[in-house]
Amino acid sequence: MKEKIIQFGTGNFLRGFADYFVDKLNKESLFDGKVVIVSPTDSKTVDALNAQGCKYNLYLRGIENGKEICERTEINTISRAINPYRDFEEYLSLAENPDFRFIISNTTEAGIAFSGEDKFTDRPAKSFPAKLTQLLYARFQAGLDGFVIFPCELIDNNAKELQRFVLRYAQQWTLGEDFFHWIITENKFCNTLVDRIVTGYPEGEVDSLCGEIGYEDKLLDTAEPYHLWVIEGDFEAELPLQKAGFNVIWANDVSPYKKMKVRILNGAHTSLVFPSMLCGIETVKESLADEDLNKFLNTCLFHYILPTLGDTEENRRFASAVLERFANPYIKHLWQSISLNSVSKFAARVLPTIMDYADKNHTLPKALVFSLACLIAYYKTNAVNDDKSAVEYIKNHSVHEILSNTRLWGSDLSNLLDLTEKSIDKIHTVGIREAVKWAMS
């Protein structure tokens, strides 16, 4: 097969997401192309990939449509892996191959950034946008068409931010107006939204799984069955992901889908984390197995979040999938990890639902306000991993002062005072279990 896709990122996520999709497209004769992986850092994973001929196994494990599944696929869609820190010329030579059409990236949330220290003469430049600019300039000089670029980094407007930094490097490096114009007119930077939990190398299970496979796989990857990829644009004719049965949406705008993900998936996590931790529950799966907390989650999702967001078939399907994902027996998702930086998370994920629900119904969503009360109660008595000034403020101030602090929440929440204080009083007087039941009454 011809090499048609350049991938920036050697990590578990893309190998359990986009590479799996391309592998299935090839196996079903819907696509005829290989992926070349470029390491955005001086990563040893390149050596591991090339040592195995870039072949590895992916296990999809979890609950789908009410049934537990465990499915293995041998992925054989990557042709080679390149480390530009060791072979910069091999990296740049990718630009000279007219068969390359798509670029996919996942360089972490911090990967799409600008550094004034990067120079065009660096071999390679340090930042991902700078490396991409070097590749695009070589492509431009070769007189070839541009690329369709799908960044998968979890930041707002990921493609537009990437394009903005590429243009900034082109200008700073004085690469010419023609190149600047070519970047804009001959390349398609497509904002995307990705959603799949990729749990990666399964420590503790390697011997049994490799015994099942029949050989040692140092690149073994694991993920949940659920996936969602929303892409601005429509390249289904070239990359028929929907035809292959994948949950891929070609859209004019990813923002409604991001709102769905933030309000439903992230909002459910953030609403449930502190009621669960106050109950002594350690993992998401254990909360789903707990009758009270399961009912509390369903109340938050189906009584408050969905009616506010829009109780559409698509949103309801996503919410139902969230419940299956939370109950995945193969994922040990610790509430302690999810609780990181919860003040800013609550402000972004749950408060908009509280405000929208109150505006629409002229009453407060009791269970969601209760989850805020649980956050405050937990912060006051336990060690937490969050902004130090926020933690100290919550520990040392009254509930009224906490809620009216706009620097914490982005707005004055004094209108939540009465219900928040009642919720905290319930936690202290009748205990967290009875308080959870009261919050659903």
3-state secondary structure of 7: strand
The rounded distance, in Å, linking the Cα atoms of 87 and 380 is 53
Domains and CATH numbers, the chain: 2-251 (3.40.50.720), 255-439 (1.10.1040.10)
Give bridge partners of residue 148 from the DSSP assignment: 102, 188
Contact 378, 278 (CB under 8 A): yes
**DSSP type of residue 416:** G
Per-residue confidence (pLDDT) for residue 384, from 0 to 100: 95
Chain CA centroid to CA 254, Å:
14
What lies within 8 Å, CB to CB, of 251 at 6+ separation is 230, 231, 232, 257
The rounded distance, in Å, linking the Cα atoms of 92 and 104 is 16
Give bridge partners of residue 73 from the DSSP assignment: 58
The rounded distance, in Å, linking the Cα atoms of 26 and 200 is 23
**Order of strands, sheet of 188-189, starting from the edge strand that comes earlier in the sequence:** 78-82, 33-38, 2-8, 102-105, 148-151, 188-189
With b for 16 or more beta-carbon neighbours within 10 A and e for fewer, the 67-84 pattern comes to eeeeeeeebebbbbbbbb
Residue type, 332: K
Instruction: Give the chain's radius of gyration (CA, Å).
Output: 24
Angle at 184 between CA 181 and CA 188, to 5 degrees: 150
The rounded distance, in Å, linking the Cα atoms of 22 and 31 is 8
Residue type, 8: F
Q: Which two tokens stand for residue 364?
A: 């407060």
3-state secondary structure of 334: strand
Task: Please say whether the dihedral angle defined by the alpha carbons of residues 189, 191, 196 and 200, taken in this order, is positive or negative.
Answer: positive
Q: Which two tokens stand for residue 345?
A: 């998370």
Per-residue pLDDT of the chain (441 residues; tens, 9 = 90+): 999 999 999 999 999 999 999 999 999 999 999 999 999 999 999 999 999 999 999 999 999 999 999 999 999 999 999 999 999 999 999 999 999 999 999 998 899 999 999 999 999 999 999 999 999 999 999 999 999 999 999 999 999 999 999 999 999 999 999 999 999 999 999 999 999 999 999 999 999 999 999 999 999 999 999 999 999 999 999 999 999 999 999 999 999 999 999 999 999 999 999 999 999 999 999 999 999 999 999 999 999 999 999 989 999 999 999 999 999 999 999 999 999 999 999 999 999 999 999 999 999 999 999 999 999 999 999 999 999 999 999 999 999 999 999 999 999 999 999 999 999 999 999 999 999 999 999
Which segments of 147-254 does DSSP mark as H helices, in order? 158-172, 177-186, 206-213
Contact 263, 352 (CB under 8 A): yes
Per-residue confidence (pLDDT) for residue 311, from 0 to 100: 87
Nearest CA to 272 out of 339, 353, 343 is that of: 339
Chain CA centroid to CA 193, Å:
8
3-state secondary structure of 437: helix
Per-residue confidence (pLDDT) for residue 109, from 0 to 100: 84
Contact 405, 393 (CB under 8 A): yes
3-state secondary structure of 67: strand
Nearest CA to 36 out of 71, 72, 87 is that of: 87
